[in-house]
Amino acid sequence: MTYLDIDPPHDELAERAILGAMILDPETIPQVLEYLREEDFYLENHRLLFSLLYKLWEDKGKDWDDIVLREYINRYGLSGRIDMSFVYALVDEAAKGALLEEAIKLVKEKSGLRSLMELSINTLKGIKEEPDFNRLIDFITHKVLEISEKQTITHYYHVKEVVSKVIDIIEKHRKEEKLITGRATGFLDLDVLTTGFHPSDLIIVAARPGMGKSSFMLSMAINMAMEEKVPVVIYSLEMSKEQLIMRALSMLSGVSLQNMRRGFIKEEERNKLIGAALELSRCEIYIDDTPTLSTTDLRIKTRKLKKEKGVEVAFIDYLQLLRPPVRKSSRQEEVAEISRNLKALAKELNVPVVALAQLSRQVEHRSDKRPQLADLRESGQIEQDADLIIFIHRPEYYKKSPPPEEQGIAEIIVAKQRQGPTGIVKVAFIKETASFRPLESASTQSVETYEPDLEELSEDDYDLDF
Least confident of 114-118, 124-128, 420-424: 124-128
Nearest by Cα to 205 from 318, 299, 119, 286: 318
Distance CA 35, CA 339 (A): 28
Domain final position from 131, 151, 171: 151
Q: Answer yes or no: do 240 and 94 share one domain.
A: no
**In this predicted structure, what is the pLDDT of residue 4?**
59
What is the average pLDDT across 383-401? 86
The reply to whether 171 falls in a domain is no
350 falls within a domain? yes
Q: Are residues 249 and 321 in the same domain?
A: yes
CA distance 258 to 423: 33
Kindly state whether residue 59 falls inside one of the protein's structural domains. yes
Task: Answer yes or no: do 146 and 243 share one domain.
Answer: no
Range from 118-132, 317-331, 380-394, 446-460 carrying the lowest mean pLDDT: 446-460
Q: Does the residue 168 lie in any domain?
A: no
Choose between 277 and 152: higher pLDDT: 277
Output the DSSP codes for 321-385: GSB-SS--SSHHHHHHHHHHHHHHHHHHHTS-EEEEEEBPGGGGGSSS-S--GGGBSS-THHHHH
Distance in Å from the first CA to the final CA of the chain: 49
CA distance 141 to 146: 8
Residue 366 domain-assigned (yes or no): yes
123 in the same domain as 200: no
pLDDT, residue 19, reads: 93
- According to the model, what pLDDT value does residue 216 have? 93
50 pLDDT band, cuts 50/70/90, is very high
Tell me the average pLDDT across 21-36: 86
What is the C-alpha radius of gyration for the chain, rounded to an integer number of angstroms? 29
Per-residue pLDDT of 328-362, as tens digits, reads 777 888 888 888 889 988 988 889 999 998 888 87
Q: Could you tell me what percent of the chain has a pLDDT over 70?
A: 87
Domain of residue 87, CATH code:
1.10.860.10
**By C-alpha distance, which of 200, 188, 238, 11 is closest to 103?**
11
Nearest to 97, CA basis, from 43, 154, 24: 24
Residues 145 and 208 in one domain: no
Same domain for 218 and 128: no
* Residues 223, 141 share a domain: no
Residue 157 has pLDDT above 70, yes or no: no
Are both 142 and 188 inside the same structural domain?
no
Set 93, 109, 118, 238: catalytic member: 238
Residue 88 in any domain: the answer is: yes
- One domain, residues 198 and 141: no
Q: What is the domain range of residue 334? A: 179-455
Quick check: pTM over 0.75?
Answer: no
Asked if residue 209 belongs to a domain, the reply is yes
Give pLDDT, residue 401: 80
CATH number, residue 355? 3.40.50.300
Asked if residue 156 is part of any domain, the answer here is no
pLDDT band at residue 388 using 50, 70 and 90 as cut-offs: very high
Q: Which residue has the higher pLDDT, 238 or 327?
A: 238
| pLDDT of 150 higher than 80 | no
Q: Quick one: 196 and 334 in the same domain?
A: yes
Question: Does the structure show a pLDDT above 60 at 460?
Answer: no
Both 350 and 442 in one domain: the answer is yes
Do residues 401 and 410 lie in contact, with contact meaning Cβ atoms separated by under 8 Å? Answer: no
Q: How many domains does the chain have?
A: 2
The predicted-structure confidence for 240-288, as pLDDT tens digits, reads as follows 888 888 888 888 888 888 888 887 888 888 888 888 889 888 989 898 8
Residue 146 annotated as catalytic = no
Please check whether residues 137 and 236 belong to one and the same domain.
Answer: no
Q: Please compute the mean of the pLDDT values over residues 189-203 and round it to a whole number.
A: 91
